[in-house]
Structure 1
Amino acid sequence: MNAAAQSIIAYCRAGYEVDTGNELTAIATARELYGYPAFKPGDGFVRFQFYEPDHAAQFISQVAVHDTIFPRQLFLVLETIQIEDKSDRIGPILDALADAATGRSGLLFVDYPDTDEGKTLAKLCRKFAVPLRQALRARDLLSKKEHTGLPALHVFFTSGEQCYLGVSQAKQRSPFENGICRLKFPPKAPSRSTLKLEEALLTMLSAAQRDAICRPGARAVDLGACPGGWTYQLVSRDMHVEAVDNGKMADDLMATGLVDYRAEDGFKYRPQMGHVELLVCDMIEKPDRVAVLMANWLTRNWATHAIFNLKLPMKRRYETVTAAIETVRAQLNAANIKASMVIRHLYHNRDEVTVAVIREK
């Protein structure tokens, strides 16, 4: 078997290759699927090579992007393609697919790393996707219409002369090009941090969870609220928000009548009515301290659910996150609280990860 078929590709933010590799190693080892990460710092992706021929396929069938922290996209590598003739990039891909006998795919992703160098490939990828899609459909290798339930075909360019060809399963992959959920900044939002919570609500919660939690009239607390980027997302959904911070809130938010501003210490604050539906927090504090605070709110039933950010150190970021999450999980277990927990390094995050803790009914 080609060595490429024993590997997977994981997209990540440039500079987070070590953390992504450490996470993939931990996940694989826990499943007794052994291998090692290969990358160059700043590449914006990691190739994880497995020792056994079938372990890459097992990993990719068991692990979803949504259940990881740092990967933005995951796919099984079928072939590493060197482009010798730039006038024919399609031919080598069709030949590789014929050898792999993958069957029909429902989607085509032509992606590139989210780096300054990688972005120079954006125009190539956009132009290349159209004739490749036509060629695949002509050979019945791609459905005539997009079919999200079928496997997806990935062509990931790392340069104009090389690409990885691979596949992913419907429930395991990110639905976004380059694994990136791109959002437009709302012109009335007081800060760009609003995009962090919007992305979290759209990608970390199901539609049913979002409708149930962020319903009109529900109450929320925003710790570290000023100037109101996260509060804006909640108010735009007609929620009542207790905004806690020593800074100044945006006048437009205060004018809605849905914001109760409290100039208090977020670590000492308690909800005005004893309980809220949702706690959100984007305070610049040590992650272990924030984790304890969030766990206290949830176990003491001051909040039913929580979405919060954990600021990351320069080194050992994966280890720092997992330690903080274990603090929250241990307290929830001790209180016999059943909750789902999603931890993601979102596109609109920088040096933080977002955690969503949703209590089960």
Structure 2
Amino acid sequence: MQELLLHCRPGFEGEAAAELQELAAAQGVAGYAVTREGTALVRFVCPEEGEAQLLMRRLDFQSLIFVRQWALGSWLDVPAEDRITPIITACAQGPLASTLWLETADTNDGKAMAALTKKLGRPLESVLLKTRFLRPNKADAPRLHICFESGERIFVGWSWANNAAPWPMGIPRLKVPREAPSRSTLKLEEAWHHFIPRDQWDRRLAPGMQAVDLGAAPGGWTWQMVNRHMKVIAVDNGPMNRALMDSGQVEHVEADGYLFKPRAPVQWMVCDIVDKPARSSALLARWISRGWCREAIVNFKLPMKRRYYEVLQCMEHVQEAMDEAGIRGTIACKQLYSDREEVTCHVRVLQAGSYKVQPDH
């Protein structure tokens, strides 16, 4: 097992490759990326035995920006008349697994193999259970990933639940609520799933919290917070959804989100305004460093080139502002499944700094 298979958004293979290449070099691990534009998959090959597993153990999956999911393993060429036997032989070379995930790339070609993966799923699981390579009761065992590049080309790999995405291919199965004003509502819901452990939702997304939604109209993100029984200041010159306004939980302020200042600190600030990433990161830095919010989720719209390095610059800008204000906190970015030409940034203040809160007056 000398290779990591990385899932990413189609068209962002170069960013995922650059990210792993840089992080591997920082860990002193030699490796190289193999990419094909539009495939939504990246191979990261470590020629030295054991180095791929070492890299996977040393890197924190949550810190990866453009990688949705990963697995440690190798590729197989399999005959169409018997795909299961080679897979079982490959599984004998790896650890026991607790869960079987059949995956494809997140592309039209990948989706076209849904019938094949569905057909193979039950008989493959049955054989894995009989050979005891799959043991559902072994909770601490890794997950087994069988990723189909085609009907004859398969990746067999493993990931560990404490250092990987909790969903096959890194894609959460979320549905747009019928009551939500726009599909963008899923961006915020997915961000919560990624950045906030589920057992902390009742504490960090609690009823009665005060929140600000910058660039709110028509209210997709506001709807998520209202659904958690928060009080929301929705800032946008455009109209808000009438049902949200009738909830009694939303105050609509007609203003430019970049210029708005809160009357008092709030628990949450969220923003999905389409603008240059440097402007959005400056907005985020200002809200955090001035003590206007305790947690924030902001989307950075990416340029056409040097997207990975643009994100790093945005994160550095926010971190510098936090350091200057004496704030201890966490900052993370992820290109979520619901994102397109953007990434989602989350900041949480753990310890306030020496700043004085600057309200609007």
Coarse TM-score class (shorter-chain normalised): over 0.9
Measured after TM superposition, the shift of residue 147 of structure 1 is 4.6
After superposing on structure 2, the runs of 4+ consecutive aligned residues of structure 1 that deviate more than 6 Å are none
Report whether the alignment pairs 1:255 with 2:246: yes
Residue of structure 1 equivalent to 2:348: 358
Identify if the C-alpha distance between structure 1 residues 167 and 208 changes in structure 2 by more than 3 Å, giving closer, same or farther: closer
Residue of structure 2 equivalent to 1:348: 338
Looking at structure 1, the residues matched to 121 and 59 of structure 2 have their Cα atoms a distance apart, in angstroms, of: 27
Give the 3-state SS of the residue equivalent to 1:154 in structure 2: strand
Measured after TM superposition, the shift of residue 167 of structure 1 is 1.2
Looking at structure 2, the residues matched to 292 and 103 of structure 1 have their Cα atoms a distance apart, in angstroms, of: 46
Report whether the alignment pairs 1:50 with 2:46: yes
Looking at structure 2, the residues matched to 357 and 318 of structure 1 have their Cα atoms a distance apart, in angstroms, of: 19
Query: Is residue 13–residue 41 contact of structure 2 (8 Å, CA) maintained in 1?
Result: yes
Q: 1:108 is matched by which residue type in structure 2?
A: L
Report whether the alignment pairs 1:130 with 2:122: yes
Identify if the C-alpha distance between structure 1 residues 298 and 208 changes in structure 2 by more than 3 Å, giving closer, same or farther: farther
Report whether the alignment pairs 1:88 with 2:77: no
> C-alpha deviations, 1:244-264, integer Å up to 9, x for none?
011000000000011110011
Residue of structure 1 equivalent to 2:226: 235
Residue of structure 2 equivalent to 1:184: 175
Measured after TM superposition, the shift of residue 315 of structure 1 is 1.5
Report whether the alignment pairs 1:11 with 2:11: no
Query: Is residue 61–residue 169 contact of structure 1 (8 Å, CA) maintained in 2?
Result: no
Residue of structure 1 equivalent to 2:186: 195
Report whether the alignment pairs 1:21 with 2:11: no
Looking at structure 2, the residues matched to 338 and 281 of structure 1 have their Cα atoms a distance apart, in angstroms, of: 22
Residue of structure 2 equivalent to 1:36: 32
Query: Is residue 154–residue 166 contact of structure 1 (8 Å, CA) maintained in 2?
Result: yes
Residue of structure 1 equivalent to 2:265: 275
Equivalent pairs counted in the alignment come to: 351
Report whether the alignment pairs 1:222 with 2:213: yes
Identify if the C-alpha distance between structure 1 residues 148 and 358 changes in structure 2 by more than 3 Å, giving closer, same or farther: farther
Q: 2:327 is matched by which residue type in structure 1?
A: I
Residue of structure 1 equivalent to 2:322: 332
Q: Which stretch of structure 1 is more off in the superposition, 44-53 or 227-236? A: 44-53
Measured after TM superposition, the shift of residue 35 of structure 1 is 1.3
Query: Is residue 19–residue 308 contact of structure 2 (8 Å, CA) maintained in 1?
Result: yes
Report whether the alignment pairs 1:119 with 2:111: yes
Identify if the C-alpha distance between structure 1 residues 205 and 182 changes in structure 2 by more than 3 Å, giving closer, same or farther: same
Give the 3-state SS of the residue equivalent to 1:301 in structure 2: coil
> C-alpha deviations, 1:297-347, integer Å up to 9, x for none?
111101111111000111211111111011001111121211122211000
Identify if the C-alpha distance between structure 1 residues 349 and 147 changes in structure 2 by more than 3 Å, giving closer, same or farther: farther
TM-score (norm 2): 0.94
Looking at structure 1, the residues matched to 95 and 305 of structure 2 have their Cα atoms a distance apart, in angstroms, of: 43
Looking at structure 1, the residues matched to 322 and 139 of structure 2 have their Cα atoms a distance apart, in angstroms, of: 36
Structure 2 residue runs of 5 or longer lacking an equivalent are 352-361
Looking at structure 2, the residues matched to 290 and 135 of structure 1 have their Cα atoms a distance apart, in angstroms, of: 52
> C-alpha deviations, 1:112-161, integer Å up to 9, x for none?
00001111111211221211111011011111x36542111111100011
Give the 3-state SS of the residue equivalent to 2:161 in structure 1: coil
Residue of structure 1 equivalent to 2:66: 70
Measured after TM superposition, the shift of residue 212 of structure 1 is 2.2
Residue of structure 2 equivalent to 1:291: 281
Measured after TM superposition, the shift of residue 210 of structure 1 is 2.6
Looking at structure 2, the residues matched to 280 and 111 of structure 1 have their Cα atoms a distance apart, in angstroms, of: 33
Identify if the C-alpha distance between structure 1 residues 40 and 300 changes in structure 2 by more than 3 Å, giving closer, same or farther: same
Q: 1:234 is matched by which residue type in structure 2?
A: M
TM-score (norm 1): 0.94
Structure 1 residue runs of 5 or longer lacking an equivalent are none
Q: 2:14 is matched by which residue type in structure 1?
A: V
Give the 3-state SS of the residue equivalent to 1:308 in structure 2: strand
Give the 3-state SS of the residue equivalent to 1:307 in structure 2: strand
Measured after TM superposition, the shift of residue 65 of structure 1 is 2.9
Q: 1:235 is matched by which residue type in structure 2?
A: V
Looking at structure 1, the residues matched to 34 and 239 of structure 2 have their Cα atoms a distance apart, in angstroms, of: 46
Residue of structure 2 equivalent to 1:108: 100
Identical aligned residues as a percent: 39
Looking at structure 1, the residues matched to 137 and 247 of structure 2 have their Cα atoms a distance apart, in angstroms, of: 42
Residue of structure 2 equivalent to 1:244: 235
